[in-house]
Amino acid sequence: MTARKGERYSLGKLIVQGGTPLEGRVSISGAKNATLAVMAAAMMGCGETILENIPNIVDVEVMMELCRELGGEANWLEPGTIRMVLPDSASCKTSYTLAKKLRASNLLLGALIGRFGWAEVALPGGDNIGSRPMDLHIKGLYCLGAELKVEHGYIRGGVIGGGKRLTGNKVYLDFPSVGATENIMMAAVLAKGQTIIENCAKEPEIVDLANFLNAMGGRVRGAGTDLIRIDGVQRLEGVRYAVIPDRVEAGTYMVAAAATRGRVIVENVIPTHLHALSAKLREMGVTVEEEDDQVLVDGRGEFRPVDIKTMPYPGFPTDMQSQLMALLASVSGTSMIVENVYENRLRVVDELQRMGAQIKIEGRTAIIDGTSELTGAQVKATDLRAGAALIIAGLIAEGETEVSCMYHVDRGYEHLEEKLRSLGAKVRRVESSSKA
């Protein structure tokens, strides 16, 4: 299998012809955010781990390269399945060259200190969507007995006194950070004694990581609530595991179906993970019906404006507000979006305005005066979810939209053009590439 190579980023553009309602069925890939956390945790296991339902996206390839850089093995066995092994002789240092491409590279901090007692991890990159400091990660690991320093662009350190194992403790997070919760979970699973994480993140990806760690032999309880208990074990073993479906990819196609006034069945989903989005779409007047592992979205009715506040799970996800903003830009009336998680999520507004969207920014609030007159334009994806939003806007705009900087979108959506075309969308990529 040939995956998109992490060392090369697509500089291509997506050409989108608007005006066609999406119709049909689309199958959702494995969750990007769950996959990256599970891949980091897989490096804690002795022996090989086989991971299934893995999306073929740039971020996954970068994490595989990080595993190889540490001295491990990571390769595709077949579409959707990868094999990973990190031996006891592994290096515990990541390079800036790779870490700058992937925010989730910071998850190697907890994984490496948990298994080897030491790590030297370059400060991570990823989307420029706002401040995402490492202080909660460092605080949590310090509570478990790790001493860390940030210097020369790296976070360096290990178990105080030079030991191999951390020690369980009580950790309270000032904010329910997903990344900090994941890092502390991984570090604690091999620590001596019990760790209790309070005010932790409750996202489905946290539950998936806990399930994976338990499959490897860990003892994690309470994932999905605001208190997680972890009883440390001596060793984790490699296993075979399938990650959950991607709730943000699913949500993106749900919004695209509604925006184009189409009718789409979104398959291979866990409907409970989508409840916050489904509730808002229903409030707008969109028909959303859940059945087993699929959701039907019918956008052929009359829409109403809505107000949204992004919040940690189970609140409305920050990863879906850009896409919904594109939809609301075409809904008559005034809607409002308050971004409570990442301040730079509203950068997409400048690009939507180029397409005729009537949006004003006041602090962290976007005030949207809906119009049915979006028009195609040349726009730029400023981050992963902004790119998805601009594609949705292009699908409903009059004429042709050219979305550049598609490498952002390639980081998180598998086979985007193919899936859109299967639903009737008129999209094509104009490709070029260069070293990142």
Closest CA to 290 of 275, 310, 302: 275
d(CA 102, CA 36): 10
Q: What is the CATH number of domain 32-242?
A: 3.65.10.10
59 is in an annotated binding site: no
pTM confidence score: 0.94
pLDDT for 126 equals: 44
Q: Which long-range CB contacts under 8 A does 75-82 form with residues at least 24 apart?
A: 76/1, 76/3, 77/1, 77/50, 78/1, 79/1, 80/30, 80/52, 80/53, 80/54, 80/55, 80/56, 81/50, 81/51, 81/52, 81/54, 82/39, 82/50, 82/51, 82/54
| Strand blocks (E) in 187-306 | 194-198, 220-221, 227-231, 240-242, 263-267, 287-291, 294-298
Tell me the β-bridge partners of 171: 197
Strands of the 220-221 sheet, one edge to the other: 170-172, 194-198, 227-231, 220-221
Q: Is 32 annotated as a binding-site member? A: yes
How far is the C-alpha of 277 from the C-alpha of 321, rounded, in Å? Answer: 9
In DSSP terms, 381 is beta-bridged to none
Contact 21, 66 (CB under 8 A): no
* Catalytic residue (choose from 59, 127, 208, 410): 127
Cα–Cα distance for residue pair 374/358, rounded to 1 Å: 9
pLDDT at residue number 8: 43
Can 231 be counted among the known catalytic residues?
no
Say which amino acid occupies 144.
L
Residue 217 has φ and ψ, to the nearest 5°, of 115, 5
Give the whole-angstrom CA distance, residue 145 versus residue 195: 12
Provide the 10 A C-beta neighbour count for residue 432: 9
In terms of Cβ atoms closer than 10 Å to its own Cβ (0-12, 13-18, 19+), residue 113 is: buried
Half-sphere exposure at residue 411, Cβ-oriented, CA atoms within 13 angstroms: 28
Residue 235 has which token pair? 């060793």
Q: Pairing mode, if any, of strands 227-231 and 358-362?
A: unpaired
pLDDT in tens, 43-99: 999 999 999 999 999 999 999 999 999 999 999 999 999 999 999 989 999 988 888
299, 301, 350, 283: which is closest to 322 by C-alpha?
350
- 261, exposed or middle or buried, with CB in 10 Å at 0-12, 13-18, 19+? middle
Tokens of 348: 């997409």
Q: Is 170 annotated as a binding residue?
A: no
> How far is Cα of residue 27 from the mean position of the Cα atoms in its chain?
18
Distance in angstroms (rounded) separating the CA atoms of residues 148 and 4: 34
**Which segments of the chain belong to CATH 3.65.10.10?**
12-29+245-431, 32-242
What are φ and ψ of residue 34, in 5° steps? -70, -40
Q: In CATH, what number does 12-29+245-431 get?
A: 3.65.10.10
Do the annotations mark residue 134 as ligand-binding?
yes
Torsion on CA atoms 295, 296, 302, 303, rounded to nearest 10 = 20
CA 185 to chain centre: 18
Report CA 83 to chain centroid distance, whole Å. 21
Residue 190 annotated as part of some ligand binding site: no
DSSP conformation letters of 337-392: EE--S-GGGGGHHHHHHHTT-EEEEETTEEEEEE-S--B--EEE--SHHHHHHHHH
User: Does the annotation place 100 within a ligand binding site?
Assistant: no
What pLDDT, on a 0 to 100 scale, did the predictor assign at position 10? Answer: 53
Residues of the chain whose pLDDT is less than 50? 1-8, 126-132, 434-436
